[in-house]
Structure 1
Amino acid sequence: MFTKGKTPDNTTPVGSKQNVQPPTTPEPLKRPVSSSPNRAAPSIISADVKMKGSIVSQGEVQIDGNIEGDIRASSLTIGNTGAVAGEVVAETVIVRGSVKGQVRGKKVQLCTGAKVEGDITHASLSIEPNAIFEGQVKHSQDPLNDAPRAPSASQASATPTGQNPNA
C-alpha cells in the first residue's frame, strides 16, 4: 500500500533526490528560571504571636503579630493587626498596621489605617488617605544601603572657648 516511487525496503529510488537531515534528539525540558533557586515560601507571623528579637529573611515576610526588634527582608507586609517596634528594611514595604522606628525601602506604601512613627527613607513612597505618619521623609536612589548618618564632627560637639582642640 502507498509504495509509489519507493522500493519495497522503504528506501528512496536510486534516481530521485531527497533532502537528508540527520536525526534530531529531543530537547530536554527547560525549567523556569527563578531569581533564587532556594527561594522559600513566605513567612507569616500570625496575630497571636509576640516576639522580641530581629528577623532576617531573603524572602517575603508578613507580620500580623507584635515584633519588638529589627526586620530585614526582601518583601515585608505589616498586616492590619501587625505592630513593629524597630527598624524595618526591605525592597518593598507595605504597612497596614503600625511601625515605631525607621523604615527603609525601595518601594514603601502606607495603606489606609497604617500608623508610622519614625523616619522613612525610600525610592518610591505612597501614602493612602487616613494613614498616619509622624516623622521625616528622605528620598534615596538606594535606600537599602543608606545607613543612618552619624552627626558630622562640627555638629557632634563644639570645642569650649579658650581650649585648644589639638591638645
Structure 2
Amino acid sequence: MLRSAVALLASAALHGCSWYVYEASNRPIASNIAGRCFALRENAILAEHFSYFTAYMLNLSGANDCIPQDVTPTTKDEARYKLSGLKYPKCIWVPVANVAKETKFKVTTVTEQPHGRSGRCWKVEVTLITGESAGIKSGIPACHLDFTESELWVRMKSGHEYVEPLELSDRVTRPCTE
C-alpha cells in the first residue's frame, strides 16, 4: 500500500514538473527583447480572444484565414467569428482594431512554456505605447504550435529551434526609442 502511494505521489510530482510556465523576462535568453521598444514595419490587426476573459493578440494583416486585411465595423459579425449553436466559431481571435505601421510597442513579459515532445515555446507579451490602442497589453505570434498558419515574430534557426538570445523578426519589427 505504501509503495503504491509513493509511486502515485512521484508520478504526480513528475507530471507537475513537465508542465511548468517559466518567467524568463529577466533571463539572458530574453535580454535582446524584454523591456525594449519596437515599431511595426507593417500594418497589423489587434484581435480579442473569444472567451469569458479578455486577452489580445497582435498579428500582421492577412496573416492567416482568421486575420483580415482590414477591420471594419462589420468584421466581428462575419460567420467565421460567430457561435453556431453550441459550436465555437471557426476563428477564436476576433479582430477589433487596425494597428498602423510604425506603431510602437514595448515587450513586457517573456515566458517559456513546454509543449511535451514538441519542445518549448515562448510566449511574448507586449504593451502598445502609441496609436489608438495605446496601453493595451497583447500577445504576439511567438510559438509555431500556437500559430501554425502565421509568420512568427520571434526569429527561428529552424522550424523548431529559436535564435538565442531571442530576437524579433526584422521583417515585422524594428527597434525604436520611446
The TM-score, its normalising length taken from structure 2, stands at 0.23
- Structure number with higher strand proportion: 1
Question: Normalising by the residue count of structure 1, what TM-score does the alignment of the two structures yield?
Answer: 0.24
Tell which has more relative contact order, 1 or 2 (C-alpha 8 A, sep 6+). 2
Larger Rg: 1
